[in-house]
Amino acid sequence: MPPAAMPPSAPSRMTGIGASTPRPSSETLKEIDGLLSKAIERNIRYAAAYAWLGEIRAAGTPDVGLGLIRRAISLDPRDASHRLRAANVLLDQNK
């Protein structure tokens, strides 16, 4: 039996995994942080904004970032992506 051919879109999907994704600059991260903070001010129940902000802030202060991600989990417990973000922060802390 011949090997299965890769679909034409496979290379683009594989590059989207994150291995070849460039890291944003510190200026970009500060801008994103500010925009997410404003989003939370406007809607304190926007779970995804808490999760994203927590992921960004966890790079500098893991406990603060994890607290924001835990807030996202409490707001939207069915969204598994929030739990994955928390797991990644804990993994980075070796906990």
Q: Which residue type sits at 50?
A: Y
DSSP characters over 33-57: HHHHHHHHHH-TT-HHHHHHHHHHH
Q: What number of residues does the chain have? A: 95
- pLDDT, tens digit, for every residue of 35-85? 999 999 999 999 999 999 999 999 889 999 999 999 999 999 999 999 999
- pTM of the prediction? 0.75
**Residue 22 in this model has a pLDDT that exceeds 90:** no
How far is the C-alpha of 29 from the C-alpha of 50, rounded, in Å? 15
Integer Cα distance of 28 and 31 in angstroms: 5
Structure token digits, residue 83: 């739990």
Amino acid at 64: V
For position 29, what pLDDT does the model report?
A: 93
* Cα-based distances in Å from 53 to 15, 43, 65: 24, 14, 7
